[in-house]
Amino acid sequence: MMNLITKIQPLILLLICSLFVTQATYALPQNIQIQEAAEQLTLAQRLDKESRQHFLKANKIRKQLKNLRANKSKHSNGEDDPENEISMLVKALEVAQQQGATTRAQSEQLKKAATTNFTKGVISVWGNWITNTRPLTMDSNVENFFAHNSRVRSVHNNMPKVSLSDEIVTADRNDMSLKVPVLIGQNAPPGLDIGAFKLSRQERLFAHIEVHTDPQIETTDSPTQSNNVTAVPLNSIHQWRLLVTDLQGKPVENIQFLVEGHMPGHVHGLPTEPRVIKEIEPGIYIVDGLKFQMKGWWVMKFIIADNETNATDKTQSDFFTFNLVL
């Protein structure tokens, strides 16, 4: 009897352990949207690679056609007529270009779908830290103002207005389109992605930005400018919150960032030098020293430095790029 009990005990312990493992796994299920997004991104990357191969093939065919046509013009009286070969290569070129364009379009659609699912999954997992899912906007309290490329060049009587008309065009803020910021006259590109959720350039990480309004974390140099969680204050130093995860939705810790910002339409940068000052939770970074002196199209870039040397090679480093139309 004792021998039987001795033999059964390991089996009982194994069964109990398997039950605990099953319960723990069930208690922490993986996010479905993030899983689906990762699969979509993998397929999109494969299609993108295929499209590049098609375009490389098209370039190779194009060079062959160039050489054949050059030889044909030099030896117009020759017996060997390359016309048939040229016709075949032209058809092959059309096929390669069409395949490249089709697979690239499919890849872009899948990447957009993956970004949407990553966004939903990250919001579900990190809802406690995400108070704004919309694109960042300028503070609604900001009134009309003039920038350095506005219709008024100077208030001096000897300096006429740039515009040929003396009529001042006004518009209500709520009726304005993001594509036509009439206060500055700078047009953002059509279809510009101004979302607050982005994949990194190398598509290894996922990030979210929003204005930081936690009074317990604020410094005296970066007071909250508005109760509007989407509001970016004009001409005032403030903070952002940057959330960074991997493609499984897990936080990415201890990242060293180089922060850059500029206005493409004006060829100038920020008046300040913003930087990441602390990591308040794993994967949650506070960016301080942000200041936007005018409305318009801004580009913010967060470059990831090497974790070992803290060096940032802009040609090799991964980075996040966010477009803002303020």
Tens of pLDDT, residue by residue over 211-257, are 997 554 444 344 434 445 568 988 889 999 999 999 999 999 999 99
Segment 179-186 shows an average pLDDT of 48
Q: What burial class does residue 151 get, using C-beta atoms within 10 Å of its C-beta: 0-12 exposed, 13-18 middle, 19+ buried? A: middle
Question: How would residue 309 be classed by pLDDT, with cut points 50, 70 and 90?
Answer: low
Residue 276 pLDDT > 60: yes
- Taking the C-alpha atoms of residue 249 and residue 28, their distance in angstroms, rounded to an integer, is 13
Q: What are phi and psi of 84, to 5 degrees?
A: -65, -40
pLDDT of 197 reads 96
Residue 155 pLDDT > 50: no
Reading across the β-sheet that carries 319-325, which strands appear in turn? 268-269, 257-263, 297-304, 319-325
Residue 31 pLDDT > 80: yes
Residue 142 structure tokens: 């900001």
pLDDT of 264 reads 86
More confident of the two residues 75 and 46: 46
How do 284-290 and 257-263 pair as beta strands? unpaired
The residue to which tokens 């909250």 are assigned: 224
Residue 192 structure tokens: 């510009």
Q: What are 49-93's pLDDT values in tens digits? A: 999 999 999 999 999 888 888 887 776 665 566 788 888 989 999
Residue 298 structure tokens: 């801004």
| DSSP symbols for 24-75 | HHHHSPPPHHHHHHHHHHHHHHHHHHHHHHHHHHHHHHHHHHHHHHHHHHHT
Architecture label for domain 132-326 = Sandwich (2.60)
More confident of the two residues 44 and 313: 44
Residue 260 structure tokens: 């850059």
Please state the domain extents for the chain: 32-75+82-125, 132-326
Segment 166-171 shows an average pLDDT of 55
**Are the C-beta atoms of residues 110 and 38 closer than 8 Å to each other?**
no
Residue 2 pLDDT > 70: no
Residue type, 273: E
pLDDT of 148 reads 47
**Are the C-beta atoms of residues 61 and 93 closer than 8 Å to each other?**
yes
- Cα 163 from chain centre: 37
**Are the C-beta atoms of residues 90 and 13 closer than 8 Å to each other?**
no
Residue type, 151: R
